[in-house]
A and B are shown apart, each in its own frame.
Chain A
């Protein structure tokens, strides 16, 4: 019933039930975030992204959030102008993936305080940090909202601490 369309893609054997990748893109089809949990060539990534963005954007709002695509199941959800889109194994649980997306949005929301697309554009590295703290290697690592944010804040705090003395030193060096 299924066909593998390209050789390169089918070369990778999906024996693991984990998230394959996660994409965030805008309603205009602009990629805002991408995270690949399976090794793919840049060309493949681009192709997948292009195809997926087109497919997902073409879907109507009342349609269901799941999509069979190649061998994978795409779970997507739109939050305002942003589409969050995950690829999982066909036998995986779609609803829990939907909740992973939701949890990630909650995390972003909490961190940025009423998050909007701009926050992600201008602070996309932060968005990545949060994602890495939440999902590691395609598996949910820490599902407690508090713990994730604590970890991120600790790192942020450390950053600021590191920043201040450095700038002082630089000033000293300049003077």
Chain B
């Protein structure tokens, strides 16, 4: 039993123990799981994704004869040690790919290698079960193997090794399942680490200096973290499904990654004590052999057995990139210590160094290298280098070869800014005495060191002479190269014959260089080569295109100096370009598929010189230029370069319209290109061509505006240059403003430079003196326009200041006087000066206490003493204006009435109607301004201003005011409607119109003279509006229904809001009518007047008068609800017409009239209504009108007018002589049933406005017309400043009442045209001038402008 028990127990124990351990394990897992609250990739969701990740192989290290098994970086970021299956350990220079050391190990399969932290030793080991340390010596000849030190001894293969933070200790891991720490010096084992159940394959030391831990992984699928001091395993992780091939600490040391044969990499966090991420993909089925982190820890590089390297995003767990390149499995992978590159070793026998790509053509290792080559640039080293060079140079033993090396280094030193002038003479010596090899460097050094005038160059002449005669081609080339670059002027005659001979050398390279040498001679001493011009021609005819191209340099120069001497060559040049463009040159000369672009450009330049002001020469070129333009269609920089040159040439030679058009289109391509370089060229080309034709800028105005705000200084500058070219009298202000804006930055920078200085004292002083001098010059001139802080600048030169002060103290300008005084005091009190304006301080750091806080005490004292508190100017002004408003109150009562009626009575005086000019116009203007003020009180920005309204206004007016206020609000609401985004474009458009005003329509510009050019052909508004405006404008005339049509038919979007105003007025009829009159301007007003004048002498308030009038039509219209206009003949119904107004009435007849606007005449339609119940017979109408031609058309005699019926009679009225107002009188006689003849008088007035018709012309026509008219009147009109766009609003208002045609609006100018019926035209040129509208009218009829002006004034006054 017992025995049984005993035997049973161990089995039991084993199983129980096993189960117990299993349960403990699960408990442990559970505990760990409790700590696991969230996945890493979830946490990392907010982290920004990694950008484009491109890495390229920068270096391939070839040399191993078998699989590379392990590698390590040296701490110098440059060297690499690698071990291979062939038993070799190689130390590489990763930059140069040189092998610096190679060690052959006694065994194959060197599975581990490591660089010592000092970089002075490498450790390696493998199947020999040992770890050997080889110290690296600088002496390359020393046998490394002899110094080998065997450090560690395992019982199985060495799988990995790694130095601790010193050269003195090394950690190893082995196939025997242990890791161990060894002392390098003694070879003693310091600590061994037992815990792995199978082979340990990898280990990694914790990154921190104090961290005494390392991690190891092995075939037991376990990763263990060890404490080096105790030798205990402190943490272990067992989640991999297969052997762990590689472990690497996270850079912070808080986590580590592992790569395993189970095709995954995993991340373990030591703090969380668990696996936090798995990096795997279904597509990845091969094991990971090696892992490493990027320096930041964001990337995990994994080398896989499927020959690839996968790059993982550590945080998100996604694969960022996959790198190919190796042709066998990747066995090892390490990131360089500075993180800029990594190196991978593979079974394909190679190592590859991969670095991040820097976007473009030259692949670069500079990041890796820069720090390494920095040493070259350190001054100390440089000095050492220079002194050693000096020694060597002086030493007689230095061979030519060494001298060559020295020379190269000297060139480098010179380039870095160190003086190596002691080598100059040796450079010449080298060129003189060396073999070809040295000579080449010698010549190069000479050409770099010695510029044209250097005296040492004289020593070179003999060498050059010798080499020019050499049979060695290379030597001749070298000599010619140096001759073509820098050669002393005096010595030209010596070499000239030799160089000339070379022009007939069989080799084209020699001929080419000889030509260029001659070109150089020509540049530095033209008269020396005068006699050989013939030879240039020979070179031009050379069969080699290269030589020919070179000769063009000379010709370009020659032709530039005297184009006339070479006209005969035009044909040849054209022929050459034709051949080039036609692709006749050898393909070698193609550049990106463009045939010899340099040659083309050279020829185009020559063309522009030859063709300038020469019609016949130009004619020869047209064809080939056209061809060039046509050919250069490829979208490549080089074609654009040619196009640009073409455009320039086309605009330089005598013009041909067709080509110009094409060229302009080309410029369009440039300007509109998204590529900024092309845009710049476009602007430059535009700048060039606008000198010939300013209107070309118009097509690109929006682009130009955009470029004006471009962030790039260069673009901005070029744009300003362009603006400068198109400056004319109209846009000069805007352009100068733009330039000043631009200068402001420059000035600030300049002042900063002045104050702070640059590094060079001499320059600073020079600059400062210059600045002060020119500054004083400015001050001595007229200093009234100078900015205030100008005076704050002068600090240094006291005597000058005193001198200046005398000037300034007598200045008229108080500010300048004050500043002069300040300066004066400052200059006397140096201490104070120092304190206020510290010298050498940056100028803008001088703080000015703008709130004058230091005066607070004084102020409070004064206040306490009873002084009045300070009122800021705007407050004072407000108060003042309030007072003024009050004082104006009495006028407010009947302001509109008195003024308008007054003006009307004025107009009725015969002198005025016969023709306005001079004084009377001024008078009316005065009236206008008065009205303006009156209106201004009532109308504010937001419409009606109730607070300004006087309280004593008539109740009626108040009522209407209320209505208006409503309207005003509505208007305001509507005004909000225009979307904000359009604001910016509108701004730009406005800017454009102000910048490009006065361009285009060149002919009219010149004809019109500088100040009043008509607008160019830019119109953002489509034409159709304008063309329809005659009819739409006319239709405005017809009664209330026309309000809506008006708003839709009008062309100006700016004006729309204004035009829509009337439609919003729909309250009580009384007020409506009232407003209606106000809004509808003079003709209704006139109607009212017509009515009023039926009872002459009644001169009551306008408002009352109109009310009185309005009552009657209302009643009549009640009586005749049918629209009287229905009675108009069909052909007239279509025409624009006025409202029907009543003329007069008696118990039996009611007369009303309507004006119909025909193009050639005004039709006065008189409606005769029978109010009685019986028929009226023998109705006869007679109309008389002074100053008008009257033609009765129909219906002036009616036999019988039925009861309650209406008869219509027409009169065509024509105004031959413009008059402001014309009154007509007439009688209607009829017979009542009683047989009694009654006659009814009627009368009315017509104004010029009734006879004005829009004149539809284009801008160009306008320009021509303008010049043909002799009579002109200028006048300032009121501008509707309250509107968003005052000009347009004003013009629209005029247009509405006066049937004008707005031809064009450009910026602050508007062109308006109209005609007196179909005869005499009148042109108006309106320009915004501050708050007024300056109008300039021209017409063939002397009185017409006055009349129109009068109506304009009236219209605007009544608005």
Chain B residues 583-610 with CB under 8 Å of chain A are 586, 588-589, 591, 596-599, 601, 605
In the A-B complex, list the 4 residue pairs whose CB atoms are closest, starting with the nearest.
A95-B641, A144-B588, A39-B452, A64-B676
Chain A residues 60-88 with CB under 8 Å of chain B are 60, 62-68, 78-82
Known contacts A16-B557, A66-B680, A80-B360; is-contact A98 B637 (Cβ 8 Å)? yes
- Measured between beta carbons, the chain A residues less than 8 angstroms from B377 are 30
Binding site secondary structure of chain B:
helix
Task: Identify B444's interface contact among A37, A125, A146, A151, CB under 8 A.
Answer: A125
- Cα(A158)–Cα(B448), bound, Å: 23
Closest to B683 in A: A64
A129 shortest CB reach to chain B, Å: 7
A 14-46 binary contact with B (CB < 8 Å = 1; else 0): 001100000000101011111111011010001
Chain B residues 553-567 with CB under 8 Å of chain A are 553, 556-557
- Measured between beta carbons, the chain B residues less than 8 angstroms from A36 are 451
User: Is A168 an interface position by the 8 A CB rule?
Assistant: no
A137 shortest CB reach to chain B, Å: 5
- Measured between beta carbons, the chain A residues less than 8 angstroms from B678 are 95
- Measured between beta carbons, the chain B residues less than 8 angstroms from A102 are 637
User: Is A147 an interface position by the 8 A CB rule?
Assistant: yes
Known contacts A30-B377, A99-B597, A158-B474; is-contact A93 B644 (Cβ 8 Å)? yes
A135 shortest CB reach to chain B, Å: 10
Task: Identify A99's interface contact among B412, B448, B473, B641, CB under 8 A.
Answer: B641
B480 shortest CB reach to chain A, Å: 9
Task: Identify A95's interface contact among B363, B472, B486, B681, CB under 8 A.
Answer: B681
- Cα(A39)–Cα(B599), bound, Å: 26
- Could you pull out 8 A-B pairs where Cβ atoms are within 8 angstroms? A62-B676, A68-B714, A81-B358, A82-B362, A114-B362, A116-B364, A132-B444, A144-B589
Do A155 and B519 touch (CB < 8 A)? Answer: no
- Measured between beta carbons, the chain B residues less than 8 angstroms from A35 are 448
Other than the given A64-B715, A108-B362, 14 more pairs (CB < 8 A) read A6-B763, A32-B415, A39-B452, A68-B714, A80-B362, A96-B645, A109-B362, A121-B373, A136-B481, A136-B516, A137-B523, A140-B598, A141-B512, A159-B440
Known contacts A63-B712, A155-B440, A159-B436; is-contact A95 B557 (Cβ 8 Å)? no
- Measured between beta carbons, the chain A residues less than 8 angstroms from B359 are 80
Do B95 and A118 touch (CB < 8 A)? Answer: yes
User: Is B570 an interface position by the 8 A CB rule?
Assistant: no
Do A155 and B474 touch (CB < 8 A)? Answer: yes
- Measured between beta carbons, the chain A residues less than 8 angstroms from B168 are none
User: Is B1014 an interface position by the 8 A CB rule?
Assistant: no
Do A144 and B546 touch (CB < 8 A)? Answer: yes
Known contacts A81-B364, A143-B589, A151-B477; is-contact A137 B516 (Cβ 8 Å)? yes
Do B519 and A139 touch (CB < 8 A)? Answer: yes
Do A96 and B546 touch (CB < 8 A)? Answer: no
- Measured between beta carbons, the chain A residues less than 8 angstroms from B481 are 132, 136
A4 shortest CB reach to chain B, Å: 11
Closest to B450 in A: A39
- Measured between beta carbons, the chain A residues less than 8 angstroms from B415 are 31-34, 124
Closest to B95 in A: A118
- Cα(A105)–Cα(B1172), bound, Å: 105
Closest to B679 in A: A64
Known contacts A93-B641, A125-B408; is-contact A80 B485 (Cβ 8 Å)? no
Do B516 and A93 touch (CB < 8 A)? Answer: no
A87 shortest CB reach to chain B, Å: 14
User: Is A115 an interface position by the 8 A CB rule?
Assistant: yes
Chain B residues close to A by CB (< 8 Å)? 95, 358-367, 369-370, 373, 377, 408, 411-412, 415-417, 419, 435-437, 440-441, 444, 447-448, 451-453, 472-474, 477, 481, 484-486, 509, 512-513, 516, 519-520, 523, 546, 549-550, 553, 556-557, 586, 588-589, 591, 596-599, 601, 605, 637-638, 640-641, 644-645, 676-681, 684, 711-712, 714-715, 717, 760, 763, 766
- Cα(A125)–Cα(B373), bound, Å: 17
- Cα(A93)–Cα(B412), bound, Å: 31
Closest to A139 in B: B553
Do A95 and B637 touch (CB < 8 A)? Answer: yes
Task: Identify B441's interface contact among A42, A93, A96, A125, CB under 8 A.
Answer: A125
Do B641 and A96 touch (CB < 8 A)? Answer: yes
A14 shortest CB reach to chain B, Å: 12
- Cα(A141)–Cα(B599), bound, Å: 11
User: Is A163 an interface position by the 8 A CB rule?
Assistant: yes
- Cα(A102)–Cα(B636), bound, Å: 12
B496 shortest CB reach to chain A, Å: 16
- Cα(A25)–Cα(B1099), bound, Å: 90
User: Is A154 an interface position by the 8 A CB rule?
Assistant: yes
B837 shortest CB reach to chain A, Å: 27
Closest to B56 in A: A114
- Measured between beta carbons, the chain A residues less than 8 angstroms from B589 are 143-144
A174 shortest CB reach to chain B, Å: 12
- Cα(A136)–Cα(B487), bound, Å: 13
